[in-house]
Amino acid sequence: MKQRLVVVGNGMAGARTVEEILARGGDFAITMFGDEPYGNYNRIMLSNLLAGVEDEAGIFLNDLSWYADNGITLHAGTRIERIDRFAKTVYTADGTPTPYDKLIIATGSSAWVPPIKGIRLPGRGYHQGVFVFRTLDDTRAMIRYAREHERAVVIGGGLLGLEAARGLQNHLDHVTLLHAASHLMNAQLNERAGKTLQRIVEQKLGIEVVVDATTTEILGRHAVTGVRLSDGRVIACDVVVVAAGIRPNSQVAADSGLVVERGIVVDDQMRVQDEDDIYAVGECAQHRGQVYGLVAPLWEQAKVLADHLTGADPDAAYHGSRVATKLKVAGVDVASMGLQLPEREDDELLEFAEPGKGVYSNVVIRDGRLVGATLVGDTRKAAFLMQAFDLGLPLPEERAELLFDLGGPPAEVSPAEMADDAQVCNCNGVSKGTICATVTAGCKTVGGVMDKTRAGKGCGTCRPLVQRIVGWATGGEVEEDPAASWYVPGVPMPKPELMAAIRRHELKSVSAVFATLVPGGTEDAKSKMGLASLLKMMWGDEYIDERDARFINDRVHANIQRDGTFSVVPQMKGGVTTPAQLRRIAEVAEKHDVPMVKLTGGQRIDLLGVPKEKLPQIWADLDMPSGYAYAKSFRTVKTCVGSDFCRFGVGDSTALGIALEERYQGIEGPGKMKLAVTGCPRNCAEAYVKDIGVVAIDGAKWEIYVGGAAGAHVRKGDLLATVSSAAEVVQLTGRFLQYYRENGNWLERTYAFVPRVGIDKIRAIVVDDAQAIAADLDAAMDAAIAAYRDPWRERTDPVTPGQFRTSLPLTVLPRVPVRA
């Protein structure tokens, strides 16, 4: 015979526990008793019902058919008056017995009503104009009554009272909120936060708030006419709503001999103290001294109890909840967690208040961990703070980032809070749901999920978020991705190890690397380009250049476009050109019907839509060197007009930019290298956001910034050094680039490389020569420069058969529209 499970209480805790038991295939004969004559509804939504934004049908979680469908016997509107622990039987008021094998008490709580003179009429319950705000019936009665009256007083300025006040405004004109403490929501908010909230409630919502207000008497004999406060003030009203708090419904348990303190005392399995077969969940339960009045702990308790009762997880245990809440209280965003204010001397406090705007926020940090946070009026940072609070995440060095976006990477979003259809990867259109489904299907590594879904494979900005979602979807059981630390996916070594092995075995070609360093000698198409770049950097002239190791752009020295045509960008050092050069470019564009001529962001001219087979002829007609607008290499140096013409210029940025480009043109690296030199701190050449940016400052000095970016990721570069001559700029640029070439991971741009290594360490090595490798770096860079040869010279003598043959022989290219 099935075990008989009896649940006393048909509210959110009782019904949720039963749902969790059913979800685990729990095989019980279930009987539920509910005090209220309904199925199960969402009590939190009563505020919405009062405010008129939800109707009654919308707040039901399970209607009566759900009970029938799941074989549950529901006694709605039936109260249990007594539990016989020895006979294992519960009794209703009329004495009907129901035996159980397991009993769950989920009686919740009820409104606490302070002792106020006149609040009850002798023998008739509450005064007819007085309401509590707890059940669906309470809410219905309140709405009915309020509609025919004009002025309401709400007693209690906590969460519930605020919601009641806001909701009542929907039904009558004037609402006054009385709160006994000195500020609103004093259980969750400190005084400043509470005062900020009060200001919003008064000014934006038009609710009158009286704090330090103890109500002593309800006035009016038949109908309510007002309330009297302890200081003698009288506030006129015709409706009174009491929302002064809740008290656990534990009387039946206490009467039946169970251990009850503030609530029914339970252990980590939600088992009532000293009982084998009786459990309690939700607001009526007291766990480790805590009684919770919010919904999140209740969900956690229901899961643990279901795991325990069904045997789904025999070790399931509830360890208490760290209560963090993010709510809209009466239309105002409020989030609170942990401490309201510092409690120990060395607790850190960050606080921001802008009362005029109705914004208050603070965070409390202890030993580097978030132990409290409060946000009123603006809760955009709540998701990250709640995660940091829950999981004890490390906090940013720049503490202000906890409260504000400082132009760094976008604020952390909690995967749990994202909708399933929220787009995570904006380049490849991958949603959170797709990522989670991939994890559920068994792919539990970040790299694996990225390969399968292509999430994070575009600009890469969303990679940290993808990582967090995978972590969340696996329940923190992400499998270590061994390949994550490798330089390229097909050779199982990080870059330093790989470079050492390449040197040891003198591997000078990509095929030799695969044959020697990969078990089984398997080559990998996706690793070839990174290896080619690395070997070229390491061996220079000695590198054995296998053309199949190159990406198409590097095979034909042009950037492939969406229709299979290419773009041609001739070098234009420092963005300076001449009429003769312009004339030649114009003539070439005209002669070859180039569909688009475009100025680039790097101060050059781009000829777009050139078919592959035309490239050699165009290069010949241009007779200009390659601008390298296609390779993972040194690209361009933007400059401003500098001191030659500009009224403000303090340094000759143009000349220095040309010198830099002249020297470092075409140098390959782990990622693109985009530079700029600007003649004064007005930064017209955007040097602060370049891989290397040089800024002339007064006093004939130059500042060198490294690690800047203004692409998908925006970052101001870090100041590497301030020097007094152009020659020093040229030298440090080369040395930094060489250090990046040797130590950057494949496709790791300087904006990631510099913060990873740390600007202090880079400065020590590159500027102060702390590791005594400056001379080696300089020599390696000199060798690379000496090996430079303009690739567009290959035009007369193709390196491979059909190097410039079309790859879409029947498609007429270009397929892009020609702009007039």
Work out how close the CB of 691 gets to another protein at its nearest, in angstroms, rounded to a whole number.
23
Work out how close the CB of 798 gets to another protein at its nearest, in angstroms, rounded to a whole number.
10
Q: Report the C-alpha gap between 400 and 348 in whole angstroms.
A: 12
Closest Cα partner for 534 from 746, 739, 691, 707? 746
Told to check if 806 binds another protein by CB under 8 A, we report yes
| Listed ranges 326-334, 349-357, 780-788, 798-806: which one lies at the site for another protein (CB under 8 A) | 798-806
Distance of CA 139 to the CA centre of its chain: 38
Residues 6+ apart with CB under 8 A from 232: none
Nearer to another protein, 525 or 820 (CB): 525
Q: Which amino acid is at 375?
A: L
Q: Report the C-alpha gap between 304 and 28 in whole angstroms.
A: 17
Q: Report the C-alpha gap between 460 and 151 in whole angstroms.
A: 58
Told to check if 229 binds another protein by CB under 8 A, we report no
Q: Report the C-alpha gap between 636 and 630 in whole angstroms.
A: 11
| Listed ranges 162-170, 315-323, 366-374, 549-557: which one lies at the site for another protein (CB under 8 A) | 549-557
- x/- track of binding to another protein for residues 294-323 (CB under 8 A): ------------------------------
Among 81, 412, 563, 662, binds another protein (CB under 8 A): 563
Nearer to another protein, 230 or 800 (CB): 800
Q: Where are the beta strands (DSSP E) in 112-178?
A: 120-121, 125-126, 130-132, 151-155, 174-178
Told to check if 802 binds another protein by CB under 8 A, we report yes
Q: Report the C-alpha gap between 431 and 455 in whole angstroms.
A: 8
Among 2, 144, 319, 547, binds another protein (CB under 8 A): 547
Helix (H, G, I), strand (E, B) or coil at 337: strand
Nearer to another protein, 232 or 520 (CB): 520
Q: Report the C-alpha gap between 25 and 73 in whole angstroms.
A: 17
Nearer to another protein, 629 or 660 (CB): 629
Nearer to another protein, 586 or 808 (CB): 808
Told to check if 140 binds another protein by CB under 8 A, we report no
| Listed ranges 29-37, 518-526, 681-689, 728-736: which one lies at the site for another protein (CB under 8 A) | 518-526
Q: What angle do CA 659, 751, 435 make, to 5 degrees?
A: 145
Told to check if 525 binds another protein by CB under 8 A, we report yes
Nearer to another protein, 249 or 438 (CB): 438
List residues bridging with 722 in a β-sheet.
Answer: 703
Among 440, 522, 724, 725, binds another protein (CB under 8 A): 522
Residue 271 backbone phi and psi in degrees, to 5: -85, 135
| Listed ranges 111-119, 299-307, 545-553, 724-732: which one lies at the site for another protein (CB under 8 A) | 545-553
Told to check if 79 binds another protein by CB under 8 A, we report no
Nearer to another protein, 772 or 810 (CB): 810
Work out how close the CB of 510 gets to another protein at its nearest, in angstroms, rounded to a whole number.
9
Q: Report the C-alpha gap between 675 and 678 in whole angstroms.
A: 10
Told to check if 756 binds another protein by CB under 8 A, we report no
Closest Cα partner for 9 from 109, 134, 105? 105
Nearer to another protein, 73 or 800 (CB): 800
Structure tokens at 631: 């390779």
- x/- track of binding to another protein for residues 474-513 (CB under 8 A): -------------------------------------x--
Q: How many residues bind another protein (CB under 8 A)?
A: 35
Told to check if 264 binds another protein by CB under 8 A, we report no
Told to check if 524 binds another protein by CB under 8 A, we report yes
Told to check if 810 binds another protein by CB under 8 A, we report yes
Q: Report the C-alpha gap between 293 and 244 in whole angstroms.
A: 13
Told to check if 817 binds another protein by CB under 8 A, we report no
> In Å, how far are 14, 39, 163, 786 from 57, measured between CA atoms?
20, 11, 20, 79
Q: Which amino acid is at 379?
A: T
List residues bridging with 151 in a β-sheet.
Answer: 174
Q: Which amino acid is at 183?
A: H
Among 317, 586, 808, 818, binds another protein (CB under 8 A): 808
Work out how close the CB of 747 gets to another protein at its nearest, in angstroms, rounded to a whole number.
12
Q: Report long-range pairs for 165-168 (Cβ below 8 Å, ≥24 apart).
A: 165/201, 165/207, 165/330, 166/47, 166/51, 166/205, 166/207, 166/330, 166/331, 167/47, 167/48, 167/49, 167/50, 167/51, 167/52, 168/50, 168/142, 168/239, 168/241
Among 114, 342, 471, 564, binds another protein (CB under 8 A): 564
Structure tokens at 758: 């740390």
| Listed ranges 131-139, 536-544, 785-793, 794-802: which one lies at the site for another protein (CB under 8 A) | 794-802
Among 221, 562, 647, 789, binds another protein (CB under 8 A): 562
Nearer to another protein, 220 or 609 (CB): 609
Work out how close the CB of 564 gets to another protein at its nearest, in angstroms, rounded to a whole number.
4
Nearer to another protein, 309 or 629 (CB): 629
Q: Report the C-alpha gap between 248 and 498 in whole angstroms.
A: 65
Helix (H, G, I), strand (E, B) or coil at 258: coil
Q: Give the helix ranges, DSSP H, for 713-773.
A: 726-743, 750-757, 759-766
Told to check if 147 binds another protein by CB under 8 A, we report no
Q: Report the C-alpha gap between 582 and 603 in whole angstroms.
A: 13
Residues 417-456 that bind another protein (CB under 8 A): 451-454
Among 313, 367, 480, 548, binds another protein (CB under 8 A): 548
The radius of gyration of the chain's CA atoms, rounded to the nearest angstrom, is 36
Among 809, 812, 817, 820, binds another protein (CB under 8 A): 809
Nearer to another protein, 96 or 800 (CB): 800
Give buried/exposed letters for 53-86 (b at 16+ CB in 10 A, else e).
Answer: eeeeeebbbbeeebbeeeebebbbebebeebebe
Among 478, 549, 695, 781, binds another protein (CB under 8 A): 549
CA 38, 40, 41, 43 dihedral sign is positive
Told to check if 712 binds another protein by CB under 8 A, we report no
Among 426, 725, 771, 807, binds another protein (CB under 8 A): 807
Told to check if 800 binds another protein by CB under 8 A, we report yes
Binding positions for another protein, rule: CB under 8 A: 451-454, 457, 511, 522-526, 528-529, 546-549, 551-553, 555, 560, 562-564, 800-802, 805-811
